[in-house]
Amino acid sequence: MSKKVTKIGVLTSGGDAPGMNAAVRAVVRTAIYNGLEVYGVVRGYTGMIEDDIYHMDSKSVANIIQRGGTILKTARCKEFFTPEGRLKAYNNLAKRGIDGLVVIGGDGSFNGAQRFSNEFDIPCIGIPGTIDKDIAGTDYTIGFDTAVNTAVNAIDKIRDTADAHDRLFVVEVMGRDAGYIALHSGIATGAEKVFVPEAQTDIDELVASLTEKERRKKLVNLIVVAEGDKFGGGNEVGKILKERMPNADIRVSILGHIQRGGAPSCFDRLIASRMGYYAVESLLHGRHNVMVGIVNDQMNYIPLDTAVKEKHIFSDEWLHILKVLAS
């Protein structure tokens, strides 16, 4: 039988994502409601190693649900992936009696949590917080909805200036290993083509399509590119198109980190609150070393090592829909 958890730590790790604060708030208040003590770990695993840990109460998470970023800060920590680093982290938790951990982050964060739990028998619960939506076992990750809506809002504005000048715009969005932001924002803004890491784009076919649209006097075109696409991002795609279409007025716009910031959407606040609540419930009911996800609007619990090894399956159906609607 699993030992009873009495004190838990909560941390945010890896890239920040809008809605992380809502998840932290849910974890803290659900834990306190159930009689647990809660400690915030600052700067993720770095804070665990450097003993940057503080006691949290209900007031600690007041007025944060609407804020982007994370009040606990975040960092990537190479030292935690060494046995010596994890031992330092464990000792800092042990001296406070912390016997459970909630980790809000992506697959790298879950990998660290899995190793840590295996070595020191501290149950860990993962909450998927990443704008990339690239984690298996959940339909949603905290921050994706906000990030993609930020991208859509920016691309809509770019379309206005593209229309005013009859330009072709190549817009780069975030997505080093996953093309979900590019795919969703591309479809939602009526892009002609989307470049994603999961699929190879036929440049010849794209140039032929754009040339035909130019002949038909369709001079306003949007190409949305994930930063990690196989051609190397927006600047490289723009360079190729300029070489192949020297008479076209082509501009490149890179949206960058504005996609990470800003107040989380209603949807991100809702799923973050729900996941935070069920993360604590999981610890209380002995469901350890799992990631809390949502599939078909139902809570889904997937082992952390599975969440790390597998990737969210990318559907080619959406790429086909995009092709049809852009024709």
308 is in an annotated binding site: no
109 is in an annotated binding site: yes
Neighbour tally for 249: CB within 10 Å: 13
266 is in an annotated binding site: no
215 is in an annotated binding site: no
Catalytic residue (choose from 132, 134, 145, 268): 132
The Cα–Cα gap between 127 and 72 comes to 15
Those residues with Cβ within 8 angstroms of residue 179's Cβ, 6 or more apart along the chain or in another chain = 194, 195, 196, 197, 198, 199, 226, 228, 229, 314
164 is in an annotated binding site: no
E strand or H helix at 299:
strand 298-303
260 is in an annotated binding site: yes
- Closest CA relative to residue 171, chosen from 130, 244, 220: 220
121 is in an annotated binding site: no
26 is in an annotated binding site: yes
In this structure, which amino acid lies at residue 27? V
Is 50 exposed, middle or buried (CB count within 10 Å of its CB: 0-12, 13-18, 19+)?
Answer: middle
130 is in an annotated binding site: yes
48 is in an annotated binding site: no
Is residue 305 annotated as part of the catalytic site, yes or no? no
The Cα–Cα gap between 61 and 69 comes to 14
Annotated binding residues for ATP, written as ranges, equal 15, 76-77, 106-109
Annotated binding residues for ADP, written as ranges, equal 25-29, 159, 190-192, 216, 218-220
Which are the catalytic amino acids? 132
Annotated binding residues, written as ranges, equal 15, 25-29, 76-77, 106-109, 130-132, 159, 167, 174-176, 190-192, 216, 218-220, 227, 251, 257-260
Annotated binding residues for Mg(2+), written as ranges, equal 107
Annotated binding residues for substrate, written as ranges, equal 130-132, 167, 174-176, 227, 251, 257-260
